[in-house]
Every structure is written in structure tokens, then in C-alpha cells.
């Protein structure tokens, strides 16, 4: 059974940083893609950052470019990260990781592309 488990969420003041982790059990991110999505109350889930672990190419939503960085631990092929800097109140949301791409089409923000999802971790940014 494949399981993705996010961690690292929490509460932080505007301008602060958090690093989210996504650990995969029964699965590795080799030859795959990994995505981070978020959903704020009353909003649809949206893509934040994705990475194609074959090419190493990463893609970001315009709202987070220059502030967020997605990565995969090459030594631990079952761990992926989302480093979030200069956080803003509008970044407040539940953050989900996803993997198990059935197909790949940049920037990888279509949720239907992913076969596995984590349970989400809450990020709250106060002003």
C-alpha cells in the first residue's frame, strides 16, 4: 500500500519560513513527478510547485515564484520537500503532496495526473 505523509506545517508570522516534507511509504519518487498543492477555505485546490524527477525540472505557480522551492532528496528517493520563504497571509492553506504521475505535461498542475495523495498539513501565516 502506497502512503504519502506530509509534515512540517504550522503557524508562522508573515515573512517567516517553513519546510514541508513528504515521505513516501511503499513507493519512491524515482522516475516520477512530485507535486505540492494547497487548498484554502472556500477555494479550490491549486497547484503550487511540481518537479519532474527524471529531468529535474521544477515548475511554480506565479504566486510563489522566487519564494518557494521544491526538491527531492536524491539520497532518500522517498522524500520530497517544499521550502517556503517570505511567507504571506495568503499562503495560509492546507498543503498536500502528490506523486505517482500517470502522465506528465508541464507544469504538472492538473490533479488528475497524480495517483497518490497525502492527507495534508496545515500552514497558517499571520500578519
Q: What is the pLDDT of residue 68?
A: 98
Beta bridge partners of 40: none
Cis peptide upstream of residue 44 (ω within 30 degrees of 0): no
Q: pLDDT confidence of 78, banded at 50, 70, 90?
A: confident
**Listed residue (99, 116, 81) closest to 31, CA to CA:** 99
- Phi, psi angles (nearest 5°) of residue 73: -75, 110
Q: What is the mean pLDDT of residues 88-99?
A: 97
Q: Residue 26's Cα: distance from chain center in Å?
A: 19
Q: Provide the β-strand partners of residue 52.
A: 33
Q: Assess whether pLDDT exceeds 70 at residue 74.
A: no
**pLDDT at residue 103, rounded to an integer:** 87
Cβ atoms within 10 Å, residue 45 = 17
Report the pLDDT value the prediction gives residue 48, as an integer from 0 to 100: 98
pLDDT over 90, % of the chain? 81
**For the residues 30-57, what does the mean pLDDT come to?**
94
> Mean pLDDT for the chain?
94
User: Is the pLDDT at 18 greater than 90, yes or no?
Assistant: yes
Would you place residue 28 in the very low, low, confident or very high pLDDT band (cuts 50, 70, 90)? confident
Res 126 pLDDT > 70: yes
Residue 40 has pLDDT above 80, yes or no: yes
* Dist CA 56 CA 51 (whole Å): 6
pLDDT of residue 29: 81
C-alpha 50/C-alpha 124 separation (Å) is 21
- CA pair distance 64, 84, nearest whole angstrom: 9
Amino acid at each position: 500500500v502506497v502512503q504519502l505523509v506530509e509534515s512540517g506545517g504550522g503557524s508562522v508570522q508573515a515573512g517567516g519560513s517553513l519546510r514541508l516534507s513528504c515521505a513516501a511509504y511503499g513507493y519512491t519518487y524515482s522516475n516520477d513527478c512530485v507535486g505540492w498543492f494547497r487548498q484554502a477555505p472556500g477555494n479550490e485546490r491549486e497547484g503550487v510547485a511540481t518537479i519532474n524527477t527524471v529531468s529535474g525540472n521544477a515548475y511554480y505557480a506565479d504566486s510563489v515564484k522566487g519564494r518557494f522551492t521544491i526538491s527531492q532528496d536524491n539520497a532518500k528517493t522517498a522524500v520530497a520537500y517544499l521550502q517556503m520563504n517570505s511567507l504571506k497571509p495568503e499562503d495560509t492553506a492546507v498543503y498536500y503532496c502528490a506523486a505517482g504521475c500517470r502522465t506528465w505535461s508541464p507544469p504538472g498542475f492538473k490533479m488528475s495526473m497524480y495517483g497518490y495523495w497525502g492527507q495534508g498539513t496545515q500552514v497558517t501565516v499571520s500578519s
